[in-house]
Amino acid sequence: MLKIYNTLTRQKEEFHPQQAGIVNMYVCGPTVYNYIHIGNARSVVAFDTVRRYLEFSGYQVNYVSNFTDVDDKMIKAAKEQGITVPELAYKYIQAYMEDTAALNVEPATTHPRATENIDGIISFIEDLIEKGYAYQSGGDVYYRARKFAHYGQLSGQSLDDLEVGASEHVSTEEVAKKEDPLDFALWKAAKPGEIKWDSPWGAGRPGWHIECSVMSTKYLGDTLDIHAGGQDLEFPHHENEIAQSEAKTGHRFVNYWMHNGFVTIGRDNEKMSKSLGNFVTVHDLIKEVDPQVLRFFMSTTQYRRPIQYSQESLVEAQANLEHLKNTYDNLAYRLKDATSGTDGGVQRQLADFRARFVAAMDDDINVQNGIAVVYELMRFANQYVEQRLVQREPIVAIQLMLKRLVAVFGVDLAVSATEINDEKIKELIEKRNAARAEKDFALSDQIRDQLRDQGIILEDTPQGTRYRKESN
């Protein structure tokens, strides 16, 4: 039985979706004023991996992830670049889709945008005002945080502590507009030259928190099975979402809250920042690093744990991924001389690997224990193909199991291209085989080096010499 750590209750709970076989899941997406950095990617990859495991487990996942395409940061960035906010949003939404596709992230079922839901946002706010949870003040609309009985429950903070924190991050002008420092903006009056929409309270734009409440409930209903995002969103964003949504609907907003750990940089575990010069965007990184390696590195750390990003970590991930790919190639190679037939022992072993993988992953998506089982399966596969005689059906079964389990981590295994059409190269391989048979090892080594210079890698196995093109 799958158990998920629920941030709201601070314990692992058995996962029971509201509707059998269907999971309604909302993940906070990016504010699209820049390329996503590896901290953003951490959340994207972590919850794509969760989604993949849910799908592996037989669930249909309705996966909604938004774009915040209007806010203060976007207005500032658009002004700096000399373009409109919609133009800025288009630029970085396109980049996001390209960069996450490179990381083999499954597209969301729906990618709603805040600016496409202005009417719904206005209607939502009107309802909160009518219920007494919100009030107008100088063209702005604020939410009465203290009126919501459970405010602070998600982040585990007292109202007094929250008030002190709120006071530190609010301007004197804004404090003057509020009934209480804890209150937060649902609608902001437009300043001269800013993007704006008409509303009952005057021209303006939505606050950040209200956008996700509106979009999540619009597409997934009043109560979500899972709401996920970065640890940094617990307060105020998710805390405010709960207050808004439950005040409006009268229903529990989310059954399971999931939050991913942070990313630190280098051996010293530095926090990523532009001032430290360690700010890393995915857009730039995948120009230098195989996106599949980056994906594998991130997806094999349990989502609640922090990730230490370093060159050493990437090298380790690359080596492990290469081992998996080579194993898959080894299996494909032995199909050439495999005999027909089944092996009950192999089938029992595969069933055991799958059961252990599920047991690991059912413990709050523990990918580190899950990938450890995959590595054991890899070793088992390599031992099998080293046998003098192998059978086709077991090989295909091992291939399929390996492919399915690795796919949960966002890696698509495929047989490497090994076909070599150049007849001269094939002749050299045959000449080397003859030299080895005659124990002319000097000539054999010379031909091996000659082929390596041409990007052809030879591998001598008990079943004969195999060859492949060196990957770039």
Closest CA to 429 of 396, 466, 469: 466
Q: Which residues, at least 6 apart from 374, have a Cβ–Cβ distance to it below 8 Å?
A: 324, 357, 402, 405, 406
Task: Consult the annotation and say whether 237 binds a ligand.
Answer: yes
Amino acid at 252: R
Instruction: Tell me the CB-side half-sphere exposure of residue 334, using CA atoms within 13 A.
Output: 28
Task: Consult the annotation and say whether 178 binds a ligand.
Answer: no
Chain centroid, CA 176 distance in Å: 41
Query: Contacts for 178-183 with beta carbons within 8 Å, 24 or more apart?
Result: 178/137, 178/142, 179/135, 179/137, 179/142, 179/144, 180/144, 180/145, 180/146, 182/145, 182/146, 182/151, 183/142, 183/143, 183/144, 183/145
Joined together, the tokens standing for residue 414 give 């495929």
Task: Consult the annotation and say whether 37 binds a ligand.
Answer: no
pTM over 0.85: yes
Task: Consult the annotation and say whether 426 binds a ligand.
Answer: no
Q: What confidence score (pLDDT) does residue 472 get?
A: 43
Q: What confidence score (pLDDT) does residue 439 get?
A: 83
> Measured on CA atoms in the order 242, 39, 318, 316, is the torsion positive or negative?
negative
Residue 330 CB coordination number (10 Å): 19
* Block residue for tokens 């994207």: 44
Task: Consult the annotation and say whether 234 binds a ligand.
Answer: no
Q: Which residues, at least 6 apart from 128, have a Cβ–Cβ distance to it below 8 Å?
A: 134, 143, 186, 244, 247, 248
What is the secondary structure of 270-313 as a DSSP string? EEP-TTTT---BHHHHTTTS-HHHHHHHHHTS-TTS-EEE-HHH
Joined together, the tokens standing for residue 266 give 């280098």
> Measured between alpha carbons, how far is 89 from 91 in angstroms, rounded to an integer?
5
Q: Which helix (H) or strand (E) holds 224?
A: strand 224-230
List pLDDT tens digits, range 99-129: 999 999 999 999 999 999 999 999 999 999 9
Joined together, the tokens standing for residue 218 give 């619009």
* Block residue for tokens 């702005």: 140
Closest CA to 115 of 86, 141, 139, 88: 86
Chain centroid, CA 168 distance in Å: 33
- 370 to 51, 320, 359, 459, 460: CA distances (angstroms): 15, 14, 8, 30, 32
List pLDDT tens digits, range 191-248: 999 999 999 999 999 999 999 999 999 999 999 999 999 999 999 999 999 999 999 9
> Measured between alpha carbons, how far is 407 from 416 in angstroms, rounded to an integer?
17
- 327 to 13, 230, 274, 376: CA distances (angstroms): 37, 35, 41, 12
Intervals of the chain under pLDDT 50:
167, 471-472
Phi-psi region of 104 (alpha: psi -120 to 50; beta: other; left: phi over 0): left
